[in-house]
Structure 1
Amino acid sequence: MQTGYRPYPQQQVPPPPPQQQQQQQRTPHSAGQRRGGIGPMMSSGPHHQVPLTQAQIAQQQQAAAIQVEMAKRRSRKPTDKNLPDNIDDCAVGDMAVRYRELRDFERRLDATMTRKRLDIVDSVNRSVKRWKTLRIWITNTAEDQVWQGNGLVDTFDFSSNLEPTYRIKIEGRLLDDDDDLDKDDDSEDNTGESDDADRMEEDTKPKAKSPKYRFSHFFKALSVDFPSNRKGIDQVVEWKKPERAGPSSSLPAAADFDELTFKRSGDENLNITINLYRHEEPERYAVSQELEDIVDMSEATRQEIVMGIWEYIKLMGLQEDEEKRNFRCDDLLRKAFGIETGSIPRLHEYITPHLKPLPPVKLPYTIRLDEDFHKDPQPTVYDVRVAVDDPLREKMSSFLSNAGYANMLKEAASLDDQLAIIIHAIHVSKAKHAFLTSLSEDPAIFVRDWLSSQKRDLDVIMGESMRGTGEDATGDEWRKGGKDSIWSTVNARESVTVMLSKQSVLPQR
């Protein structure tokens, strides 16, 4: 089948090379013909913009004119809030003195508020911690033990399918005040055992205000170590706090609790150890002995350690004189870092080998399954010191994020604008007062001087004045003598002094 192309006269051209002939056989379509699919792509060069209509051009011109007008209004807007000089002579009462006192008080108040606000920002950003007491109760109950069975089963020695088990409960509460610890010291012995069985009931009574932090907030993991001869699949007890998906995400409800309970099988008393792994933000580390000799802290965050080393360098004068970012190492620093000179920006690298995770909080506990103990069970109580955010931090953060502060600033700016307008009106009134006062003292001289000044201004406006208006000393004010004349002013005296100090060259005859 022949193609329907329009015949054109072809010129005699030499045959293409064999490789090009093969490519032409594989692509029978012409290069300029479209084979379907997407159309030809636009070039990457500059494209012509669509011309604007007359309405769009007029709208842009109107917007530009509005912006120019607003700029002119802002430039003409009065901003001076200071009273004119000598206003006390023409003001009634002590208005000017009171206004200056208020202005001085406003400046001191603004400086104080700014300083306090910066202090709040610094305190919130430093994340100050406060140590409080977390009280932990550990108890266990027994179920289906031998001594809990009835006498009928024991007499006939029937075998029972019930397996003896026990249930352990770990409960923690954050004490509201450290005074509670002092009140309970008399009721606990050195091993942590409470002598009063009702003490737990008194401490666990519901209070009017629920604690802010729950038991799971302070720990990221929990594990229980059983005796080596009793380890098995059913003895493994471990809990890990799930990680947050993002900074703003919250933990699931199952990860926020005040007590943890687990059940295991057994009929003998056991000595176990409960390991609590701390969860702190920012994370605290155990410091090596070499670094502890420098910063005098056994546990600290990275920021605290770096600041401690920096203070030690400044105290010992180890900073280089020319390059302040470098420091020399004394015996303690050389022992810790193993270098002669170090760089302050690399302190984080130097301290990393000396930081280790904090060891878990170990709480030994004896699982009691005998009948004598459960006649009068007593919980084992431990007090653990935990770090919490400063209670004032939330209140201080509310000051920074208070929406009323922005409204107050807008209101203060509006009042400042009104005050500037009033002060501008006072300046105008003061000028009017000075004009009328001068006119009333000597009308003839004032009118003559005023007319001379107006004539000079008119010459300047019309471009007919001489260079340096008044240099020819032809005005009326130049012909006047006495103390009130222009010759007794400071400008005149300085001009005469400069003229006399110049060395003039006399022409030779």
Structure 2
Amino acid sequence: MPVQMPQQAVNAPYMPAQRGMPHPNDAALRRSRKPTDKNIPDGIEDVVIGEGVDQYKSLRDLEKRLDAATVRKRLDIQDSISKTVKKYRTMRIWITNTVESQSWQSAGSNPGSGRYNVRIEGRLLDDHSDPTVPEDEEESGDAAGDDAMDQDKDDEDAKKADSKKQPQRFSHFFKNITIDFDKPANAIPDEVKPVTWSKPQLSPNATSSPPSAEFDSIQFSRASQENLNVTIGLVRDETPERYKLSKELAEVLDVEEETRSGIVLGIWDYIRAMELQEDEEKRQVRCDHRLRSIFGREQMFFPQIPEMIGPHTSPMEPIKLPYTIRVDEDFHKDPTPTIYDIQVAVEDPLRQKMMALTQNPQYTSGLRQIASLDDQVALIVQALTHSRARHSFYTALSKDPATFLKRWVNSQRRDLETILGDAAAAGGNGNGNEFRRGGADSAWDTPVAREAVRYLLAKPEASGAR
């Protein structure tokens, strides 16, 4: 017995809606029938009163120039964005430590219970803030001459407001932070165990970093009653990543650190400057003594360069900052922080403005409005074309009605005979000399005649007669 396959039930209210949905080809057919020509047809200026046609043509020329300039500027902006130009700013890092329960702080403290607390804080110099200066001193220092420095304060407030809009915190510039201890002979393993922090990986759908990845300072505390030497390692977090170049590659590019795209562009500029391309095959490159020291060959194809620069690049070494954790009494009578200035890569602020221009929703809505106006103009031009055709028809009819109607009727009859392939149906007798003659060059040996025969055989009465 055959097994009947189960059929999925279709919701009854959904069937009429599905039946009324337009076919996908209908939209394409409507688009193909939509008029697109916005040029005024020839001869309109002879029948239109005024200078409207000339003004419309001048506006069309202006529109073309504006469109060309807009497209060129957008391409320039997109090209600038793709280059990802980086700028470098100075970040100041303060390293300080405090102590508690040391033997010199309290006579009744337990031996070996002393601890220290280390704080590492980094900020860009443009923040105009120094964590080592108390807030009271800053306020007292600013109290003098308030009237003369109101404008400066307003500028600083504006800069601070801008920095709050787009904060770039200390952890933003690094993906790993490690504190390595120098291990003395009598050190306890737990007291000199390295301290590490790694930036958490963002999920593909995440819109912002987690709170653990955004901070301005990092702290750690341990037990110790002796001074300790540590090395703070900072691994940069840059996109795109920079690499350290070999001596041979650095000699060609004249830089010691560069991204992969920058390396390829630099080699390409060097090849063009030294005219090392072959005349017939531009992708073929002749290697001079500098390129031979990098690639080890006399000739090579340019598309092979990105693969062959790998041995000449290495990851950037982390930034290493030495520091001594002081727990003695002499130092903490007047503690001073250890300060380092390092260079960090930041995004060009102009790039963010250009990104805002390319992603502006008003631009998309403006394009839709312009497209709607273009459709209306095309419809008006189509109406003018039809009006011009009617005007020409009636003008020729008014000059010589008899000759015009005779010529027009003959033209319509020939068109009808060609379409139907039946001279009798169009009012003719079909007994002309051109229809009597047969052979290879006759009227019957033409694509029109073959199409007419197929049309005639496809009629219901013809199929019934067969």
TM-score relative to the length of structure 2 = 0.71
Tell me what 2:246 maps to: 288
Which amino acid in 2 is paired with 1:347?
Answer: I
The answer to whether the aligner puts 1:141 opposite 2:98 as a matched pair is yes
Q: For the structure 1 residues 116 and 384, does the alpha-carbon distance in structure 2 shift closer, same or farther, using more than 3 Å as the test?
A: same
Whether contact under 8 Å (1:131, 1:388) holds in the other structure is: yes
Q: Distance in 2 between matches of 1:344 and 1:80?
A: 45
Q: For the structure 1 residues 165 and 225, does the alpha-carbon distance in structure 2 shift closer, same or farther, using more than 3 Å as the test?
A: same
Tell me what 1:235 maps to: 192
Tell me what 1:130 maps to: 87
The answer to whether the aligner puts 1:226 opposite 2:181 as a matched pair is yes
Which amino acid in 2 is paired with 1:282?
Answer: P
Pair member with larger Rg:
1
Tell me what 1:318 maps to: 276
Which amino acid in 2 is paired with 1:447?
Answer: P
Q: Distance in 2 between matches of 1:67 and 1:144?
A: 80
Helix, strand or coil for the counterpart of 1:315? helix
Whether contact under 8 Å (2:176, 2:199) holds in the other structure is: no
Q: Distance in 2 between matches of 1:41 and 1:164?
A: 88
Tell me what 2:412 maps to: 458
1:300, CA displacement in angstroms?
0.6
Q: Equivalent of 2:36, from 68, 71, 79?
A: 79
Which amino acid in 2 is paired with 1:343?
Answer: F
Tell me what 1:415 maps to: 373
Q: Distance in 2 between matches of 1:159 and 1:299?
A: 53
Tell me what 2:118 maps to: 168
Q: Equivalent of 2:322, from 364, 367, 378?
A: 364
Deviation per residue, 1:260-297 (Å, 9 max, x gap): 11123333444433221212122111111111011111
The answer to whether the aligner puts 1:446 opposite 2:400 as a matched pair is yes
Which amino acid in 2 is paired with 1:299?
Answer: E
Helix, strand or coil for the counterpart of 1:147? coil
Whether contact under 8 Å (1:197, 1:377) holds in the other structure is: no
Q: Distance in 2 between matches of 1:359 and 1:71?
A: 58
Q: Distance in 1 between matches of 2:133 and 2:416?
A: 106
Mark the runs of 5 or more structure 1 residues left unpaired by the alignment.
Answer: 1-39, 185-193, 467-509
Q: For the structure 1 residues 240 and 461, does the alpha-carbon distance in structure 2 shift closer, same or farther, using more than 3 Å as the test?
A: same
Q: Distance in 1 between matches of 2:250 and 2:32?
A: 62
Q: For the structure 1 residues 378 and 427, does the alpha-carbon distance in structure 2 shift closer, same or farther, using more than 3 Å as the test?
A: same
Q: Distance in 1 between matches of 2:396 and 2:246?
A: 85
Q: For the structure 1 residues 67 and 136, does the alpha-carbon distance in structure 2 shift closer, same or farther, using more than 3 Å as the test?
A: closer
Tell me what 1:347 maps to: 305
Q: For the structure 1 residues 294 and 427, does the alpha-carbon distance in structure 2 shift closer, same or farther, using more than 3 Å as the test?
A: same
Which amino acid in 1 is paired with 2:170?
Answer: F
1:397, CA displacement in angstroms?
3.3
Tell me what 1:501 maps to: none
Aligned residues: 392
Whether contact under 8 Å (2:91, 2:123) holds in the other structure is: yes
Deviation per residue, 1:103-141 (Å, 9 max, x gap): 112212222222233333333333322222222111111
Tell me what 1:102 maps to: 59
1:222, CA displacement in angstroms?
1.9
Q: Equivalent of 1:111, from 39, 64, 68?
A: 68
1:438, CA displacement in angstroms?
5.8
Helix, strand or coil for the counterpart of 1:81? coil
Which amino acid in 1 is paired with 2:262?
Answer: E
Q: For the structure 1 residues 349 and 437, does the alpha-carbon distance in structure 2 shift closer, same or farther, using more than 3 Å as the test?
A: closer
Deviation per residue, 1:378-414 (Å, 9 max, x gap): 3222222111222343443344444444443333222
Deviation per residue, 1:225-246 (Å, 9 max, x gap): 4345366521233323145264
Which amino acid in 2 is paired with 1:461?
Answer: D
Q: How does 1:153-192 map to 2 (within 5 A)?
A: 153=107, 160-161=110-111, 163-176=113-126
Which amino acid in 2 is paired with 1:168?
Answer: V
Deviation per residue, 1:117-166 (Å, 9 max, x gap): 333333333332222222211111121223322xxx3xxxx672462222
Q: Equivalent of 1:261, from 219, 226, 230?
A: 219
Tell me what 2:172 maps to: 217
The answer to whether the aligner puts 1:279 opposite 2:244 as a matched pair is no
Whether contact under 8 Å (1:272, 1:364) holds in the other structure is: yes
1:65, CA displacement in angstroms?
9.3
Q: Equivalent of 1:382, from 331, 340, 346?
A: 340
Measured on the aligned residues, the alpha-carbon RMSD in Å equals 4.0
Helix, strand or coil for the counterpart of 2:184? helix
Which amino acid in 2 is paired with 1:229?
Answer: P
Whether contact under 8 Å (2:396, 2:404) holds in the other structure is: no
Helix, strand or coil for the counterpart of 2:277? coil
Q: For the structure 1 residues 453 and 337, does the alpha-carbon distance in structure 2 shift closer, same or farther, using more than 3 Å as the test?
A: same
Whether contact under 8 Å (2:176, 2:234) holds in the other structure is: yes
Helix, strand or coil for the counterpart of 1:146? coil
Helix, strand or coil for the counterpart of 2:294? helix
Whether contact under 8 Å (2:114, 2:223) holds in the other structure is: yes
Whether contact under 8 Å (1:133, 1:383) holds in the other structure is: yes
Helix, strand or coil for the counterpart of 1:244? coil
Q: Distance in 1 between matches of 2:109 and 2:358?
A: 71
Which amino acid in 2 is paired with 1:237?
Answer: P
Whether contact under 8 Å (1:329, 1:339) holds in the other structure is: yes
Deviates most, 71-80 or 357-366: 71-80
Whether contact under 8 Å (1:235, 1:264) holds in the other structure is: no
Deviates most, 62-71 or 256-265: 62-71
Deviation per residue, 1:421-462 (Å, 9 max, x gap): 1112222333444455666xxx5x432442243133133235
Which amino acid in 1 is paired with 2:400?
Answer: F
Q: Distance in 2 between matches of 1:401 and 1:83?
A: 35
Whether contact under 8 Å (1:221, 1:238) holds in the other structure is: no
